[in-house]
Structures are given as structure tokens and as C-alpha cells.
């Protein structure tokens, strides 16, 4: 009997891995997840009409050999779109589920994986209920970790705190308040603000983050990527090249998108100290300019800020003081922000460094280790976490070892590399 390839996860990363394995003729594949709707994950399960993709349809195919697959699927389903369109995320989730179904090599095992253990001639995945699944390879594709609550005195035990805005129904309770504080100003805060405003149009929303920066907006017409000929050896060299390119007349979005295409090459050439400096000092600025809002989303957010429904402030949250009608959030500059609800919009947590039992298990068992920045899991170019066992990882858990690893195009490329490695190993063993 041919042992399956076990893909741990049932969201976008797992779907892309399964599609890549299918295209290389690798099977059977078992997806292990508790989400109940393979392919959707957290990002694409939302039913909010205002939650759009942050990338254009032309870049979001699940199959690297068929770049028009998403656009073709939209036409097949009777709702054609332009390649430059930004689709609702829920609709994209349905596309991923369809792509997964068409791959046709997988089964879904409902359950939560808590450990991976090598055995003689196989590798076992252990579930929380005690079941074990024997496989010939394991792919860690859990997506993002759960949001981490900021370490602010009085915050964690505040009754009006929404610690995870993606939990079903979480925002319904927050929307009952007239003053709502959003902890963060990134894409999660944008999604939460639009959702809360729809539920409670008269609520006053305040978003606070260290820099007070909202994501930038995509141009209506995409700029062509601008590529750099050399490979900067330091962050200072990289910043000089970026500034020089823009000063010479290049569109900044084209420069950012060109950097994205060369991110792995540039990242591999940076010393570890420079990578750590980027994570600590520059990553937020990169996120603001790289992960941009779709134009309709940007317009909706601008309407909120122009009308006064949403206020964005820079500052650090220092503490939470309880009051009779809610709480008062106190920032490091002494500003007091009364609110009836707080929503943790700091963004997804880091699965690789967190307390998820599976992440802890693979680290303790020596099946994976943190990369040099201490941010995510190390992986070689084929996605393998260790040379001694067939354990692979893709997507957000590789952040730090890779510069760009959270968006569909990068995860898709990683899935291709992993599928090639597993297929090659199977060919060498004579396994179908």
C-alpha cells in the first residue's frame, strides 16, 4: 500500500500544496484540518462584501502553469471579471475549494494535528483525539497563527476585549458599543472597521498603532515592476537603490512590486544581522507599501476618516483603566481614550514561534528549527525543514527565513518546489 502525503492544514496554503502535488501526479494526499470547509481558511471564509482581495485576479491562480485559471473560473461560473479586478475574498475561497476538488487526489481528515513523529519507513501525524496517520511525507501548511494579545496591563482580562476578530460572531458584540478602539492600523483593522461600521454606522472608531499608518492603496492601473540589476548586500544599499529609482521617476508601486519579485534573492544575500534589523525596524513600512488596499476598500476607508467615523492615531497602548461604562485606554503620551469595546487588530500571530502543540512538537522533536532571525521555521529551497526526514513547510510559518511568504504567488511557488521534491523522491523509490 502506498502511504499518503499528509498535508496539515485545510486553508489556502494546504489547497495550493494539494494542487501542486496533483499536477505532479503525487497521491494519495490527506488533508488534516478542523476548519470544515477545505480551501477557505480564515482569510476567505468571511461573508462581508467589503472584504476584498488585496491583489488582482490575474495574480491569484492556484496553478502556476495556468495563470488565467481564476479569471477562467469566474467566466465559467457566469460572473466574468477583468484580470485587474479585486474579487471578494469569499468568492476567492470558493474558487480555491473548486481547485481543490478538481485536483482529485485528496481526502479530508477532520481533526487537529498535535504532533509529527518519525517511524520506521514512514512519518506519523498524531491527532488530538489520539488517532495516528501514517504517511510517507508531511507538509506543514497551517497558515497564520492565532492573534497575540498585546502585553498591556489590564488588557487581557478586559471583558469588552475581542481578542480575535476573525472568530465567528466576535464583532457582533463589539458593534453594540458606541465607542470602539481598534488595536492596530493594518489590514485587519481595515476589515474590522468596515465590518463594525456596517453593523453600527453611528459608532466612533479609533485605531491606534505605534506608527499610526494605514495600508496604502493600489493604483487603479497597475505599474510595471521595476527590477534592480545588482543584489544589495546591506539594508542601506537597498534603501539607496529604492530612493534612487524613485528619484529617477519610477513609480513607487512598481519599485515595491519589483522588489517582491526579487525578495528571496535579495534576502538570501543579506547578512543575518541585516535580516534581523529589517524585521525589527523596516518590516512595518514594507507591509504598509507592499500589502495594499484594493481601490474600493481604500475609498470606503477614506470615507470613514473624512466623515470622522474613523480616527487613526499613532501611539503605544500603556494600560487599560476600568470605568463604570467600559474602559479607558491610556496611551504612552497620556492620551485617554474611553471606549465600550476593544478589538485586537494587531494581525495574525506567528505559528512557528507560538504555543500551538504541533509547532512545539516539531521544534522539540528536532523536525524543525527556527530560522536565523528567530521569526519562523527554517526551510531549504525545496521547503524541507530537516535533511533527515520528509517534513516540509510552506506559507506564513516560513516568515523570517523568507522575506515574502504570506501571499498566494509566493506560497504557490513554494508548493511547486515541495511537490517537485516529493515527486522526485517517489520516482527514485519507484512509488507512484
What confidence tens digit (pLDDT) does each residue in 220-271 have?
Answer: 999 999 998 878 889 999 999 999 999 999 999 999 999 999 998 899 999 9
Range(s) for CATH 3.50.50.60 in the chain?
5-146+349-429, 161-216+292-344
pLDDT of residue 365: 93
pLDDT digits (tens, 9 = 90+) for 272-327: 999 999 999 999 999 999 999 999 999 999 999 999 999 999 999 999 998 887 89
* C-alpha to C-alpha distance for 172 and 322, rounded to whole angstroms: 22
* C-alpha to C-alpha distance for 265 and 24, rounded to whole angstroms: 26
3-state secondary structure 36-99: CCCCCCCCCCCCCCCCECCCCHHHCCCCCCCCCHHHHHHHHCCCCCCCCCCCEHHHHHHHHHHH
Q: At which residue does the C-alpha cell 464583532 appear?
A: 171
Q: Is 130 helix (H, G, I), strand (E, B) or coil?
A: coil
pLDDT of residue 114: 97
Buried b / exposed e across 231-240, counting CB within 10 Å, b at 16+? ebeebebbee
The CATH number of the structural domain formed by 5-146+349-429 is 3.50.50.60
pLDDT of residue 160: 93
3-state secondary structure 378-397: CCCCCCECCCCCCEEECCHH
pLDDT of residue 17: 96
pLDDT of residue 345: 96
pLDDT of residue 432: 53
Distance of CA 299 to the CA centre of its chain: 23
Pick the CATH number of 161-216+292-344 from 3.40.50.2020, 3.40.50.150, 3.50.50.60, 3.40.309.10: 3.50.50.60
Q: DSSP state, 119?
A: E
Cell for 36? 470544515
* C-alpha to C-alpha distance for 333 and 315, rounded to whole angstroms: 7
- Which parts of the chain sit beneath pLDDT 70? 35-36, 427-432
Residue 118 · residue 389 · CB < 8 Å: yes
Amino acid at each position: 500500500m502506498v502511504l499518503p502525503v499528509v498535508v496539515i492544514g485545510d486553508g489556502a496554503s494546504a489547497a495550493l500544496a494539494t494542487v501542486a502535488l496533483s499536477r505532479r501526479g503525487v497521491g494519495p494526499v490527506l488533508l488534516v484540518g478542523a476548519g470544515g470547509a477545505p480551501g477557505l481558511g480564515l482569510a476567505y471564509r468571511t461573508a462581508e462584501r467589503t472584504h476584498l482581495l488585496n491583489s488582482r485576479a490575474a495574480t491569484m491562480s492556484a496553478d502556476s502553469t495556468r495563470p488565467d485559471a481564476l479569471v477562467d473560473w469566474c467566466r465559467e461560473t457566469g460572473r466574468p471579471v477583468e484580470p485587474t479586478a479585486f474579487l471578494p475574498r469569499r468568492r476567492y475561497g470558493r474558487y480555491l475549494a473548486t481547485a481543490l476538488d478538481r485536483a482529485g487526489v485528496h481526502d479530508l481528515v477532520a481533526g487537529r494535528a498535535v504532533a509529527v513523529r518519525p517511524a520506521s519507513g514512514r512519518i506519523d501525524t498524531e491527532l488530538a483525539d489520539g488517532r495516528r496517520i501514517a504517511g510517507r511525507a508531511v507538509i506543514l501548511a497551517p497558515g497564520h497563527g492565532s492573534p497575540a494579545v498585546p502585553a498591556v496591563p489590564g488588557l487581557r482580562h478586559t471583558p469588552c476585549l475581542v481578542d480575535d476578530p476573525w472568530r465567528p460572531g466576535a464583532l457582533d458584540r463589539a458593534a453594540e458599543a458606541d465607542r470602539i478602539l481598534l488595536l492596530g492600523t493594518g489590514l485587519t483593522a481595515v476589515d474590522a472597521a468596515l465590518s463594525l461600521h456596517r453593523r453600527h454606522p453611528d459608532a466612533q472608531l479609533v485605531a491606534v498603532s505605534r506608527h499610526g499608518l494605514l495600508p496604502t492603496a493600489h493604483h487603479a492601473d497597475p505599474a510595471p515592476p521595476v527590477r534592480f540589476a545588482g543584489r544589495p548586500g546591506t539594508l542601506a544599499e537597498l534603501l539607496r537603490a529604492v530612493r534612487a529609482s524613485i528619484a529617477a521617476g519610477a513609480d513607487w508601486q512598481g519599485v515595491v512590486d519589483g522588489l517582491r519579485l526579487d525578495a528571496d534573492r535579495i534576502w538570501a544575500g543579506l547578512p543575518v544581522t541585516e535580516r534581523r534589523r529589517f524585521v525589527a525596524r523596516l518590516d512595518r513600512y514594507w507591509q504598509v507599501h507592499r500589502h495594499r488596499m484594493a481601490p474600493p476598500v481604500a475609498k470606503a476607508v477614506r470615507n470613514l476618516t473624512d466623515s470622522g467615523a474613523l480616527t487613526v492615531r499613532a501611539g503605544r497602548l500603556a494600560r487599560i483603566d476600568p470605568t463604570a461604562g467600559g474602559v479607558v485606554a491610556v496611551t504612552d503620551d497620556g492620551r485617554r481614550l474611553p471606549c465600550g469595546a476593544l478589538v485586537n487588530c494587531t494581525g495574525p500571530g506567528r505559528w512557528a514561534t507560538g504555543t500551538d502543540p504541533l509547532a512545539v512538537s516539531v521544534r522539540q522533536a528536532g523536525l524543525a528549527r527556527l530560522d536565523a532571525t528567530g521569526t519562523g521555521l527554517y526551510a531549504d529551497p525545496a521547503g524541507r525543514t530537516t535533511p533527515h526526514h520528509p517534513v516540509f513547510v510552506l506559507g506564513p510559518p516560513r516568515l523570517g527565513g523568507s522575506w515574502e511568504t504570506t501571499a498566494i504567488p509566493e506560497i504557490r511557488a513554494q508548493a511547486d518546489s515541495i511537490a517537485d521534491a516529493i515527486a522526485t523522491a517517489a520516482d527514485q523509490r519507484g512509488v507512484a
